[in-house]
């Protein structure tokens, strides 16, 4: 079985500052990794995904994440945040190549302040 | 169009039955259901590929059931609702076993009083 740990439940940051949201996973098989964003009262929107290949993945809205197999991590980063980035961010995994079950972390609330 | 869920909000009295509906994104062959309790991440309930329900390991009890007829619309039914069923129910569709990612609907917020 797979599991995901998001260590930070809340991350406050000032506008235009860089941010990193941490995600660690556990799995005995190869996985796909995802970051989703959820705005209030909305569904989940895919930010980026890692399937294979380059360990640095670029997504929408200026976000990027790096897959580190040895540390079983997939941290999300943005060099300069905007007020509009305030939202809940979820890291998720699925079994590579055949899984249709996403296992989510508990989420990180990113709060961008002026 | 993306994934469409209905209704958006639902309030039920304990013991009533509720049916939630999901229309997947055009061309997607898989549909999954997730339950998201307040302040938590979504938790997997069940998954269909075309009309076949291939995984229902996440359904909390036999009060929960799902189906997908005609290979498109899927429904999630909860019988004898209880207060702990209060949550947002999310539907997601995908193509090629999620290789291209999953598209989520906006969810149905169920409140059981």
Percent of chain B exceeding pLDDT 70 equals 96
Mean pLDDT, range A22-47, rounded to an integer = 91
> What is the residue-averaged pLDDT of chain A?
93
Distance CA A110, CA B3 (A): 26
Element counts in chain A: helices (H) and strands (E)? 0, 12
Q: How confident is the model at residue A95 (pLDDT cuts 50, 70, 90)?
A: confident
Q: Do B94 and A100 touch (CB under 8 A)?
A: yes
Of A4, A51, A105, the CB nearest to B99: A51
Is A111 in CB contact (< 8 Å) with chain B? no
Is A46 in CB contact (< 8 Å) with chain B? yes
Q: How confident is the model at residue B24 (pLDDT cuts 50, 70, 90)?
A: very high
Taking only the tens place, the pLDDT of each residue in B29-74 is 899 999 999 989 999 999 998 899 999 999 999 999 999 987 689 9
Q: Do A101 and B42 touch (CB under 8 A)?
A: no
pLDDT, position A58: 96
Q: Which of A110, A107, A104 is nearest to A33 (CA)?
A: A104
Is A94 in CB contact (< 8 Å) with chain B? yes
């Amino acid at each position: 079985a797979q599991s995901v740990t998001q260590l930070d439940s809340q991350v406050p940051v000032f506008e235009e500052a860089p941010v990193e949201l941490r995600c660690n996973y556990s799995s005995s098989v190869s996985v796909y990794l995802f970051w989703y964003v959820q705005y209030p009262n909305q569904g989940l929107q895919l930010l980026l995904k890692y399937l294979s290949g380059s360990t640095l993945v670029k997504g929408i809205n200026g976000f990027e994440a790096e897959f580190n197999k040895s540390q079983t991590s997939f941290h999300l980063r943005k060099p300069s945040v905007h007020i509009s980035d305030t939202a809940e961010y979820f890291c998720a995994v699925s079994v590579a190549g055949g899984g249709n079950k996403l296992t989510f972390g508990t989420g990180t609330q990113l709060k961008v302040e002026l | 169009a993306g994934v469409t869920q209905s209704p958006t909000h639902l309030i039920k009295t304990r013991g009533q039955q509720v049916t939630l509906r999901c229309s997947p994104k055009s061309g997607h062959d898989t549909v999954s259901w997730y339950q998201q309790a307040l302040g938590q991440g979504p938790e997997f309930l069940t998954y269909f590929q075309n009309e076949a329900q291939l995984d229902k390991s996440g359904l909390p009890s036999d009060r929960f059931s799902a189906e997908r007829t005609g290979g498109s619309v899927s429904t999630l039914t909860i019988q004898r609702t209880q207060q702990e069923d209060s949550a947002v129910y999310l539907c997601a569709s995908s193509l090629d076993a999620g290789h291209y990612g999953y598209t989520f609907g906006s969810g149905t917020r169920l409140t059981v009083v």
